[in-house]
Amino acid sequence: MAMPLLVAIALVVVHFATSLRVPADWMIAFQAVLISISALILCSMENPARMFGLGVLAVLFSGLWQPGQTSLETTRSFFGVHKIADSADGKHRLLFHGTTIHGADRIKNADGSPVTGRAEPLAYYYRGGPISETIIATRAARGKLSDVAAVGLGTGSLACYREPDENWTFFEIDPEVVRLARDPQRFRFISSCAPDMPIVLGDARLTLSGSKAQYDLILLDAFSSDAIPAHLLTREAVSGYLTQLKPGGVIVMHISNRHLDLAQIVAAVGESEGLVTLVKTDTSANNFSEDYKSNATVAVLARNWRDIEMLARSPGWAKVVSDGVRPWTDDYSDLISALIRKKF
């Protein structure tokens, strides 16, 4: 009877813990204390295996706790769980896919009044960050971005980089993401910046190759979740992107990932297709709980250095080579090596 009772108590505690509104910085401390207490109890238990199991469950449940936030909506699709939550002060709205933030929108001013006008990109997409730099530099080098393909919608933050005379098309696989991003009551990026912007639903590997358009910029923002779509990162995939890329055009990949180091994989794939690669890892956005800006790692691929000369001269951008890493293909990928490079 003791074990079912302990499980029931744990579930009740988790239920109330998820509604607590405390500083987000407490999460790590909370988990450290939880692990320490579990270890002490383990040492004194006659049956440590059971207690170890409970400890693992407790840590997993604590990962569902996002302190300092008010959960508004949780939806599930074939592609995962999406959660919308407001910050503790109610001034920012976040979209989570699993445990990864896929966009942040400022919804209230300092005085508590609703934000009006064009939404301002935040999180990885903030102005001055590496994603922003690639868009601005490519536009400057080409005069304008007549046609842009963006793979991965999130909250639609990138829509607010579109200029009036540019044609941007988003490619998104998850219809639930499209529903959330298009609803101005949830996020305002599309409604305030590009309400007429087309969104093509389906696997971007297929839908992009089926497009008749040629693009100045192809921007892939699909690799930051816990599970990455490896088929968008293979040699065959990049070869397909090149058929859609105008002469002098640029491919940008947002490769921020908590678990995998993707930079050398991108470089290896690029080298196999005769491309050059620049990478920047942002280190300037270190106060997310205050400004809701996130550091990002971004890779840029081009047919020659001339096409990305402006970025190559900018601070923080560095040439990256494969250094013996094997390029991923539709028949080969190596997640373990990418994980080891990230962790060690």
Q: Which residues contact 3 (CB under 8 A, 6 or more apart)?
A: 50
Q: Which amino acid is at 38?
A: S
CATH superfamily placement of domain 130-343: Vaccinia Virus protein VP39 (3.40.50.150)
| Model pLDDT, residue 98 | 86
Q: What is the pLDDT along the chain (344 residues), one digit of tens a residue?
A: 555 555 555 554 444 444 444 444 444 555 555 566 666 665 666 666 665 565 555 555 544 455 568 999 999 999 999 999 999 999 999 999 988 999 999 999 999 999 999 999 999 999 999 999 999 999 999 999 999 999 999 999 999 999 999 999 999 999 999 999 999 999 999 999 999 999 999 999 999 999 999 999 999 999 887 779 999 999 999 999 999 999 999 999 999 999 999 999 999 999 999 999 999 999 999 999 999 999 999 999 999 999 999 999 999 999 999 999 999 999 999 999 999 999 88
**What is d(CA 168, CA 148) in angstroms, rounded to the nearest whole number?**
5
| Length in residues, the chain | 344
Question: Given strand 276-281, what is the order of strands in its sheet?
Answer: 199-201, 167-172, 147-151, 215-220, 245-254, 297-302, 276-281, 318-319
Residue 165 and residue 196 in contact, taking contact as beta carbons nearer than 8 Å:
no
Task: Look at residues 314, 297, 286, 305 and name the one whose alpha carbon lies nearest to residue 259.
Answer: 297
Task: Look at residues 73, 39, 78 and name the one whose alpha carbon lies nearest to residue 56.
Answer: 39
Place of tokens 């693009």: 215
Q: Which amino acid is at 24?
A: A
**What is d(CA 181, CA 166) in angstroms, rounded to the nearest whole number?**
20
**What is d(CA 94, CA 87) in angstroms, rounded to the nearest whole number?**
8
